[in-house]
Chain A
Amino acid sequence: QQPVQSPQAVILREGEDAVINCSSSKALYSVHWYRQKHGEAPIFLMILLKGGEQKGHDKISASFNEKKQQSSLYLTASQLSYSGTYFCGTEGSGGSNYKLTFGKGTLLTVNP
């Protein structure tokens, strides 16, 4: 089952904050977040494992609520370089700890 990402698109001014959500209808083992710029390869941001984990990475952080089967990516004080499409990839708790199912992505545009 493909995870659902929201919003589909968001436009920010430099310095503003954004939250991107990723929800699944099935139990999850982990959530992987990637950012992809147009015409380029997806770039890894972070992995969150089940257990209500929260991680931070510069001004980008994320949380994973195992019970709600959802993850949120938080971008604070956005920079122009944050522009791109953000994908969450989910890994089911059924045992296959390698196969990612990606959402359709959230297009983030940061303007000066």
Chain B
Amino acid sequence: GAGVSQTPSNKVTEKGKYVELRCDPISGHTALYWYRQSLGQGPEFLIYFQGTGAADDSGLPNDRFFAVRPEGSVSTLKIQRTERGDSAVYLCASSLESGAKQFFGPGTRLTVL
């Protein structure tokens, strides 16, 4: 596709459930980033991939959060035992290489009831 795509666009789940959020980066972009954005705040860094490997996962809030990028393209952010505090917009971005301008996807709005 022309830009970064994310699915689903909206996800409503119940407390305690497991969710998966998908990111499809721009073709050829080796770097992929996940951010979380709460209302009235800037994007908050979660994890960065260079190729297939997670180069930095220091932003993941706890071990309920995990992300993979097995083939160096599509990435999935996985959240176990969701909590109401996990509700936010989860943004994915990709760049041609690390440090280059990042192109953001439209985000997935996660609501945990």
Task: Closest B residue to A30 by CB, please name it.
Answer: B99
Contact residues on A (Cβ < 8 Å of other chain), bracket: 20 to 34
Known contacts: A42-B104, A96-B56. The answer to whether A102 contacts B44 by CB under 8 A is yes
Of residues 78 through 97 on chain B, the ones whose CB sits less than 8 Å from some CB of chain A are 91, 95
- How many residues in B have their beta carbons less than 8 Å from beta carbons of A? 27
Of B12-20, B35-43, B62-70, the segment with at least 4 beta carbons within 8 Å of chain A is B35-43
Measured between beta carbons, the chain B residues less than 8 angstroms from A102 are 42-44
Measured between beta carbons, the chain A residues less than 8 angstroms from B98 are 97-98
Contact check, A105 vs B42: say whether CB atoms are below 8 A apart.
Answer: yes
Contact check, A104 vs B99: say whether CB atoms are below 8 A apart.
Answer: no
Which of A41, A44, A97, A100 counts the most B-chain CB atoms under 10 A from its CB? A41
Q: B25 in the interface, Cβ–Cβ < 8 Å?
A: no
B54 CB to nearest chain A CB (Å): 12
Contact with B along A87-107 (1 / 0, CB 8 A): 101010000111111111100
A1 CB to nearest chain B CB (Å): 13
Q: Report which of A2, A41, A91, A104 forms a contact with B107, defined as CB distance below 8 A.
A: A41
Contact with A along B45-84 (1 / 0, CB 8 A): 1001010000110110000000000000000000000000
Q: B31 in the interface, Cβ–Cβ < 8 Å?
A: yes
The 19 listed contacts between A and B (C-beta, < 8 Å) are A32-B102, A40-B106, A41-B4, A41-B91, A41-B105, A41-B107, A42-B43, A43-B104, A44-B104, A47-B100, A97-B99, A98-B31, A98-B48, A98-B50, A98-B56, A99-B48, A100-B33, A104-B41, A105-B41
Chain A interface (Cβ < 8 Å from any Cβ of B) = 2, 30, 32, 34, 40-44, 47, 87, 89, 91, 96-105
Question: Told that A43-B104, A47-B100, A99-B56 touch, could you supply 19 new A-B pairs with CB distance under 8 A?
Answer: A32-B101, A40-B106, A41-B104, A41-B105, A41-B107, A44-B102, A44-B103, A47-B101, A89-B43, A97-B98, A98-B33, A98-B99, A100-B43, A101-B45, A103-B42, A104-B40, A104-B41, A105-B40, A105-B41
